[in-house]
Amino acid sequence: MIRKCLWIVCFAFIPLCAAAQDYDGYAPETLLIDVPTANVLDKYQASFTTRSYADGSIMESLDFGVIPQINIGFSLAIYELIGSSDEIKVLNPDFQVKWKLFDGSLYLPAIAIGYDGRRYGYDRPSKEYMDDRKGGYITMTREIFTPGLNASAGMNLSDFDRHDLYFFLGASWKLNDWLALMGEWDNINSIRDSRFNLGARVNVTPALALSGAVRRIGRGDENERILQLRYVTNF
Protein backbone atom coordinates (compact mmCIF):
# COMPACT_ATOMS: atom_id res chain seq x y z
CA MET A 1 0.00 0.00 0.00
CA ILE A 2 2.82 2.44 0.81
CA ARG A 3 4.51 1.73 -2.51
CA LYS A 4 1.25 2.27 -4.36
CA CYS A 5 0.70 5.63 -2.65
CA LEU A 6 4.21 6.73 -3.59
CA TRP A 7 3.56 5.88 -7.25
CA ILE A 8 0.34 7.90 -7.18
CA VAL A 9 2.04 10.92 -5.63
CA CYS A 10 4.92 10.81 -8.12
CA PHE A 11 2.76 10.51 -11.20
CA ALA A 12 0.06 12.94 -10.15
CA PHE A 13 2.43 15.73 -9.15
CA ILE A 14 5.31 15.45 -11.63
CA PRO A 15 3.80 18.31 -13.69
CA LEU A 16 3.72 20.56 -10.64
CA CYS A 17 7.29 19.83 -9.58
CA ALA A 18 9.12 20.56 -12.80
CA ALA A 19 12.19 22.64 -12.06
CA ALA A 20 11.68 25.14 -14.85
CA GLN A 21 10.21 28.56 -15.42
CA ASP A 22 6.44 28.69 -15.97
CA TYR A 23 5.34 29.21 -19.55
CA ASP A 24 4.19 32.82 -19.78
CA GLY A 25 1.53 32.30 -22.47
CA TYR A 26 -1.32 29.88 -23.13
CA ALA A 27 0.08 26.51 -24.22
CA PRO A 28 -0.50 25.42 -27.83
CA GLU A 29 -3.17 22.74 -28.25
CA THR A 30 -1.01 19.88 -29.53
CA LEU A 31 -3.55 17.14 -28.70
CA LEU A 32 -7.32 17.22 -28.20
CA ILE A 33 -8.39 14.01 -26.44
CA ASP A 34 -6.86 11.41 -28.75
CA VAL A 35 -6.65 13.44 -31.99
CA PRO A 36 -3.35 15.22 -32.69
CA THR A 37 -3.45 18.77 -33.99
CA ALA A 38 -0.85 20.37 -36.26
CA ASN A 39 0.37 22.58 -33.40
CA VAL A 40 3.74 21.98 -31.75
CA LEU A 41 5.52 23.28 -28.69
CA ASP A 42 7.96 26.12 -29.26
CA LYS A 43 11.67 25.57 -28.97
CA TYR A 44 12.73 25.21 -25.30
CA GLN A 45 9.20 24.37 -24.14
CA ALA A 46 8.32 21.19 -22.28
CA SER A 47 4.92 19.65 -21.62
CA PHE A 48 4.21 17.28 -18.70
CA THR A 49 0.89 15.43 -18.97
CA THR A 50 -0.66 13.09 -16.41
CA ARG A 51 -3.64 11.09 -17.65
CA SER A 52 -5.90 8.95 -15.48
CA TYR A 53 -8.13 6.48 -17.32
CA ALA A 54 -9.78 3.03 -17.22
CA ASP A 55 -8.77 0.24 -14.84
CA GLY A 56 -7.11 2.67 -12.45
CA SER A 57 -4.32 3.35 -14.94
CA ILE A 58 -2.06 6.40 -15.02
CA MET A 59 0.01 7.55 -17.99
CA GLU A 60 2.71 10.19 -17.78
CA SER A 61 3.79 11.85 -21.05
CA LEU A 62 6.72 14.25 -21.52
CA ASP A 63 7.10 16.26 -24.73
CA PHE A 64 9.87 18.69 -25.64
CA GLY A 65 10.38 21.38 -28.26
CA VAL A 66 13.95 20.51 -29.15
CA ILE A 67 14.35 22.51 -32.37
CA PRO A 68 11.91 24.80 -34.20
CA GLN A 69 8.82 22.94 -35.49
CA ILE A 70 9.88 19.54 -34.10
CA ASN A 71 8.72 17.93 -30.86
CA ILE A 72 9.83 14.66 -29.34
CA GLY A 73 8.59 12.87 -26.26
CA PHE A 74 7.96 9.63 -24.43
CA SER A 75 5.27 8.18 -22.21
CA LEU A 76 4.98 5.56 -19.51
CA ALA A 77 1.78 3.96 -18.18
CA ILE A 78 1.11 2.02 -14.98
CA TYR A 79 -1.85 -0.37 -15.11
CA GLU A 80 -4.18 -0.68 -12.09
CA LEU A 81 -2.19 1.87 -10.10
CA ILE A 82 -5.33 3.39 -8.57
CA GLY A 83 -7.65 1.05 -6.71
CA SER A 84 -7.32 -2.06 -4.59
CA SER A 85 -5.39 -4.33 -6.97
CA ASP A 86 -2.10 -5.72 -5.73
CA GLU A 87 -0.95 -6.57 -9.26
CA ILE A 88 0.28 -3.20 -10.46
CA LYS A 89 1.98 -3.50 -13.84
CA VAL A 90 4.37 -0.98 -15.43
CA LEU A 91 3.70 -1.13 -19.17
CA ASN A 92 6.30 -0.76 -21.89
CA PRO A 93 7.28 2.88 -22.51
CA ASP A 94 6.22 4.49 -25.79
CA PHE A 95 7.49 7.49 -27.72
CA GLN A 96 6.06 10.25 -29.87
CA VAL A 97 7.45 12.74 -32.37
CA LYS A 98 5.85 15.51 -34.45
CA TRP A 99 7.18 17.71 -37.23
CA LYS A 100 5.19 20.76 -38.32
CA LEU A 101 5.69 21.06 -42.07
CA PHE A 102 3.57 24.13 -42.77
CA ASP A 103 2.34 26.94 -40.51
CA GLY A 104 -0.83 27.52 -42.49
CA SER A 105 -2.04 30.58 -44.37
CA LEU A 106 -5.21 32.56 -44.93
CA TYR A 107 -6.70 29.73 -46.98
CA LEU A 108 -4.62 26.65 -46.18
CA PRO A 109 -4.43 24.68 -42.91
CA ALA A 110 -1.30 24.03 -40.88
CA ILE A 111 0.15 20.59 -41.60
CA ALA A 112 2.18 18.22 -39.42
CA ILE A 113 3.36 14.64 -39.60
CA GLY A 114 4.32 12.44 -36.69
CA TYR A 115 4.33 9.17 -34.84
CA ASP A 116 2.43 8.42 -31.62
CA GLY A 117 3.07 5.12 -29.84
CA ARG A 118 0.68 5.62 -26.91
CA ARG A 119 -1.86 2.83 -26.37
CA TYR A 120 -4.84 2.57 -24.02
CA GLY A 121 -7.10 -0.09 -22.52
CA TYR A 122 -4.58 -2.77 -21.56
CA ASP A 123 -6.01 -6.25 -20.92
CA ARG A 124 -3.87 -8.29 -18.53
CA PRO A 125 -5.07 -11.82 -19.53
CA SER A 126 -4.57 -11.32 -23.27
CA LYS A 127 -1.69 -8.82 -22.91
CA GLU A 128 -3.33 -6.73 -25.65
CA TYR A 129 -4.72 -3.18 -25.87
CA MET A 130 -8.26 -2.12 -26.70
CA ASP A 131 -6.96 1.02 -28.45
CA ASP A 132 -3.83 0.45 -30.48
CA ARG A 133 -1.21 3.12 -31.10
CA LYS A 134 -2.00 5.86 -33.59
CA GLY A 135 1.31 5.12 -35.27
CA GLY A 136 2.37 7.25 -38.22
CA TYR A 137 0.00 10.10 -39.03
CA ILE A 138 -0.54 13.32 -40.93
CA THR A 139 -2.79 16.00 -39.49
CA MET A 140 -4.13 19.39 -40.60
CA THR A 141 -5.51 22.17 -38.37
CA ARG A 142 -7.31 25.38 -39.23
CA GLU A 143 -9.60 27.90 -37.59
CA ILE A 144 -13.06 27.70 -39.16
CA PHE A 145 -16.29 29.72 -39.18
CA THR A 146 -15.67 31.77 -36.03
CA PRO A 147 -12.69 32.86 -33.90
CA GLY A 148 -11.70 30.21 -31.37
CA LEU A 149 -13.17 27.27 -33.31
CA ASN A 150 -10.36 25.08 -34.62
CA ALA A 151 -10.81 21.88 -36.61
CA SER A 152 -8.27 19.11 -37.18
CA ALA A 153 -8.42 16.21 -39.60
CA GLY A 154 -6.00 13.59 -40.79
CA MET A 155 -5.14 9.96 -41.31
CA ASN A 156 -2.93 7.42 -39.58
CA LEU A 157 -1.38 4.01 -40.17
CA SER A 158 -1.41 2.22 -36.85
CA ASP A 159 0.36 -0.97 -37.87
CA PHE A 160 2.82 -0.92 -40.76
CA ASP A 161 2.40 -4.69 -41.18
CA ARG A 162 -1.39 -4.64 -41.67
CA HIS A 163 -1.47 -1.48 -43.80
CA ASP A 164 -4.89 -0.50 -42.38
CA LEU A 165 -5.52 3.20 -42.95
CA TYR A 166 -7.58 5.11 -40.36
CA PHE A 167 -8.98 8.64 -40.38
CA PHE A 168 -9.76 11.12 -37.61
CA LEU A 169 -11.68 14.37 -37.17
CA GLY A 170 -11.61 16.71 -34.20
CA ALA A 171 -12.58 20.20 -33.13
CA SER A 172 -12.06 22.50 -30.15
CA TRP A 173 -14.07 25.60 -29.38
CA LYS A 174 -12.33 28.08 -27.12
CA LEU A 175 -15.15 29.91 -25.36
CA ASN A 176 -12.81 32.20 -23.42
CA ASP A 177 -9.28 32.23 -22.01
CA TRP A 178 -10.04 29.52 -19.45
CA LEU A 179 -12.58 27.15 -21.03
CA ALA A 180 -12.61 25.10 -24.25
CA LEU A 181 -14.95 22.34 -25.45
CA MET A 182 -13.61 19.39 -27.47
CA GLY A 183 -15.14 16.75 -29.70
CA GLU A 184 -13.64 14.13 -31.99
CA TRP A 185 -14.40 11.13 -34.17
CA ASP A 186 -11.32 8.95 -34.06
CA ASN A 187 -10.08 5.63 -35.44
CA ILE A 188 -12.39 5.81 -38.47
CA ASN A 189 -12.09 2.65 -40.55
CA SER A 190 -15.37 0.98 -39.77
CA ILE A 191 -18.25 2.38 -37.74
CA ARG A 192 -17.90 -0.34 -35.09
CA ASP A 193 -14.22 0.35 -34.49
CA SER A 194 -14.43 4.15 -34.55
CA ARG A 195 -14.55 6.21 -31.35
CA PHE A 196 -16.64 9.28 -30.55
CA ASN A 197 -15.17 11.37 -27.72
CA LEU A 198 -16.32 14.54 -25.96
CA GLY A 199 -14.53 16.64 -23.36
CA ALA A 200 -13.70 20.03 -21.89
CA ARG A 201 -10.46 21.75 -20.94
CA VAL A 202 -10.09 24.31 -18.15
CA ASN A 203 -6.99 26.52 -18.14
CA VAL A 204 -6.36 26.94 -14.44
CA THR A 205 -3.39 29.17 -15.32
CA PRO A 206 -1.75 29.85 -18.71
CA ALA A 207 0.69 27.02 -17.94
CA LEU A 208 -1.68 24.53 -16.25
CA ALA A 209 -4.72 22.90 -17.89
CA LEU A 210 -7.17 20.35 -16.48
CA SER A 211 -9.19 18.26 -18.93
CA GLY A 212 -12.04 15.80 -18.50
CA ALA A 213 -13.51 13.65 -21.26
CA VAL A 214 -15.69 10.67 -22.09
CA ARG A 215 -14.32 8.25 -24.69
CA ARG A 216 -16.11 5.61 -26.79
CA ILE A 217 -19.50 7.27 -26.35
CA GLY A 218 -22.31 4.93 -27.36
CA ARG A 219 -20.25 1.77 -26.87
CA GLY A 220 -21.99 0.57 -23.69
CA ASP A 221 -19.59 -0.95 -21.17
CA GLU A 222 -16.64 0.29 -23.24
CA ASN A 223 -17.37 3.90 -22.32
CA GLU A 224 -14.46 5.44 -20.47
CA ARG A 225 -14.00 8.58 -18.40
CA ILE A 226 -10.59 10.21 -18.27
CA LEU A 227 -9.02 13.05 -16.32
CA GLN A 228 -5.88 14.79 -17.53
CA LEU A 229 -3.51 17.38 -16.07
CA ARG A 230 -1.07 19.22 -18.35
CA TYR A 231 1.71 21.59 -17.32
CA VAL A 232 3.88 23.56 -19.77
CA THR A 233 7.23 25.12 -18.88
CA ASN A 234 10.21 26.76 -20.49
CA PHE A 235 13.64 25.23 -20.03
Q: How far apart are CA 29 and CA 61, in angstroms?
A: 15
Question: What are the φ and ψ backbone dihedral angles of 234, each rounded to 5 degrees?
Answer: -105, 145
- The ranges of the chain with pLDDT < 50 are 1-9, 11-13, 15-21, 23
Q: Which has the closest alpha carbon to 139: 106, 113, 178, 176?
A: 113
Q: pLDDT digit string (tens) for 3-55?
A: 444 444 454 445 444 444 454 566 789 999 999 999 999 999 999 999 998 87
What pLDDT is stored for residue 64 in this prediction? Answer: 94
Eight-class DSSP state of 55: G
What is the 8-class DSSP label of residue 23?
A: P
Check which CATH number belongs to the domain holding 155 and give it.
Answer: 2.40.160.40
* CA 75/CA 59 separation, integer angstroms: 7
Q: Give how far the C-alpha of residue 105 lies from the chain's centroid of Cα atoms, to the nearest Å.
A: 25
* pTM, to two decimals: 0.85
pLDDT computed for residue 153 by the predictor:
97
Check residue 24 and give its pLDDT: 53
For the chain, how many structural domains are there in total? 1
Query: What per-residue confidence (pLDDT) applies to 25?
Result: 62
Total Cβ atoms within 10 A of residue 38 = 28
Which pLDDT does position 109 carry in this prediction? 96
The pLDDT value recorded for residue 201 is 97
pLDDT confidence of residue 63 = 96
Among candidate residues 140, 185, 188, 133, the one with its CA nearest the CA of residue 161: 133
Residue ranges making up the domain that contains 117: 2-234
